[in-house]
């Protein structure tokens, strides 16, 4: 359906250069997902507009190309003209619509936001959004889990590698030894950073930015 919308947009805007790219972008934007998903929607859009564009080329070529050059109609070798015109239209429509679809999906991903959710949600949690606390508030995901998900129900639902693991071990994951981690959840990765060290580095950086250091 998204490709159909893109095809209609391409044909409505056919007077514009690279109108299939515009239609592909519309299809990709509606499709959302990854840029590959958008590109696939663009491919379908391009295929849908090939025939109408090809017919338009065949109808307008004698008027726009050959008549000004003194040729009254399509050249004698019409078969060659038709083949070249069709292949050119195919490459133009599908190629530009595919690129447009990828761009459209990318724009949808970039613009898919909710201000209240962003500022009051992940940005607040990451200490990058509006916060009543001073700069030295640094979000601690381990403490958050212990406080609001003590039985690790939420973690177990969305992190399959940790399902069935004792909640206390999950919350103590940064402090467990490598051997302990391998024994309880061999597929779950080790901590990438030391939260305590990075917290001090972040606060020092904020203090330097404020001129307190």
Do 104 and 122 lie in one domain? The reply is no
* Residue 213 confidence class, pLDDT cut points 50, 70, 90: low
- Name the domain boundary from 78, 111, 144: 111
Percentage of the residues of the chain whose pLDDT score is greater than 90 = 20
Do 70 and 131 fall within a single domain?
Answer: no
Instruction: Tell me: do 7 and 86 sit in the same domain.
Output: yes
Examine the domain organization and report whether 45 and 65 are in the same domain. yes
Check whether residue 101 and residue 168 sit in a common domain: no
Mark whether 35 and 98 lie in a shared domain.
Answer: yes
Regarding whether 78 and 145 lie in a shared domain, the answer is: no
Compute the mean pLDDT over every residue in the chain, rounded to the nearest whole number.
80
**Structural domain that includes position 184:** 116-210
Kindly report, residue by residue over 127-162, the tens digit of the pLDDT: 666 655 666 777 788 888 999 999 999 999 999 999
Residue that finishes a domain, picked among 45, 80, 111? 111
Residue 98, pLDDT above cutoff 80 = yes
Tens-digit pLDDT profile for residues 156-206: 999 999 999 999 999 999 999 999 999 999 999 999 989 889 889 988 888
- What CATH number corresponds to the domain at position 150? 1.10.579.10
- Is pTM beyond 0.85? Reply is no
Q: What is the pLDDT of residues 2-22, one digit of tens each?
A: 788 888 888 888 778 888 888
Are 144 and 182 members of one domain? yes
The number of distinct structural domains making up the chain is 2
Neighbour count for residue 118 (Cβ, 10 Å): 13
CA 190/CA 167 separation, integer angstroms: 17
- 151 and 97 part of one domain: no
């Amino acid at each position: 359906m998204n490709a159909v919308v893109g095809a209609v947009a391409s044909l409505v805007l056919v007077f514009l250069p690279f109108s299939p790219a515009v239609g592909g972008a519309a299809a990709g934007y509606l499709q959302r997902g990854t840029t590959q998903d958008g590109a696939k929607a663009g491919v379908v859009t391009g295929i849908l507009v090939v025939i109408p564009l090809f017919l338009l080329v065949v109808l307008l070529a004698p008027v726009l190309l050959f008549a000004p050059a003194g040729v009254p109609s399509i050249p004698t070798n019409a078969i060659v003209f038709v083949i070249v015109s069709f292949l050119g239209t195919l490459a133009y429509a599908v190629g530009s619509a595919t690129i447009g679809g990828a761009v459209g999906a990318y724009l949808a991903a970039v613009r898919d936001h909710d201000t209240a959710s962003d500022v009051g949600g992940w940005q607040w949690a990451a200490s990058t959004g509006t916060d009543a606390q001073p700069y030295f508030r640094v979000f601690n995901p381990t403490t958050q889990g212990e406080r609001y998900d003590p039985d690790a129900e939420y973690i177990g639902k969305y992190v399959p590698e940790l399902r069935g693991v004792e909640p206390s071990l999950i919350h103590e994951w940064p402090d467990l030894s490598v051997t302990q981690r391998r024994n309880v959840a061999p597929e779950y990765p080790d901590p990438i950073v030391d939260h305590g060290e990075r917290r001090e580095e972040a606060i020092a950086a904020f203090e330097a930015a404020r001129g307190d250091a």
